[in-house]
Amino acid sequence: MSISCSELSKVYEGGKAGWPALLGVSFEIKPGEFTAVTGPSGCGKSTLLNILGLLDEPTGGRYLLNGRDILEMSDGERSDFRRDQIGFIFQSFNLLNRLPALGNVCLPMMYAGIQNAEMQHRAHALLAKVGLKGKEKKTPLELSGGERQRVAIARALANSPKIILADEPTGNLDSASSREIMDMLLQLNAEGITVIMVTHDKELAARARRNLRMKDGRLEA
């Protein structure tokens, strides 16, 4: 899944001139790359990730996703593309505490209309893949932070995405759990999934194949 961004800008309304979050950001990411996006807080990292994940639209510029201009897609097309092609991993896990691990992993497949038998089989396999075999019935409140993020990774893989977008995926974890999650992301990348990770952790960023460093809404390096 290729990504091409040309002069992307994003201005949020407010005040006389608004607040510019992105200012002329241009780059390309080839299929199968592992890219870390780094920079200080407020530099536009998460805004960029939201645009790449079709959760937000740029104010200006062009974003081609596998050769398609996202601004030319209908709302329904963007929603379907996001559901089927992109997996999200968040710092705060974003799991439903009332559901067990298995139920959380099943959710994206329910929205995609996967039959129950296939959904259950796939969810069990994904939890085993991330090292949580035997914990399918545990709720997030019964799991450690590292285990919750593993559930989130399994959920992100539910619909076999081509791209994983991870926003500070180790931000709430201890050092040992952070390394385990990073190892897992590197393994997924080795299997052919494009991974784009926002992080403040220089050690983790150094393990990515490529770094995009941002500052004040611009791509610095």
What would the pLDDT profile of 77-90 be if each residue is shown by its tens digit?
999 999 999 999 99
Which of the 8 DSSP states describes residue 137? T
Q: Could you tell me the two tokens for 154?
A: 């399994």
Q: Could you tell me the two tokens for 176?
A: 């040992």
pLDDT of 16: 61
pLDDT of 42: 87
Chain segment 27-46, per-residue pLDDT in tens: 999 999 999 999 998 899 99
Cβ neighbours around 25 below 10 Å, total: 24
Q: Of the candidates 31, 66, 37, which has an alpha carbon nearest to the alpha carbon of residue 49?
A: 37
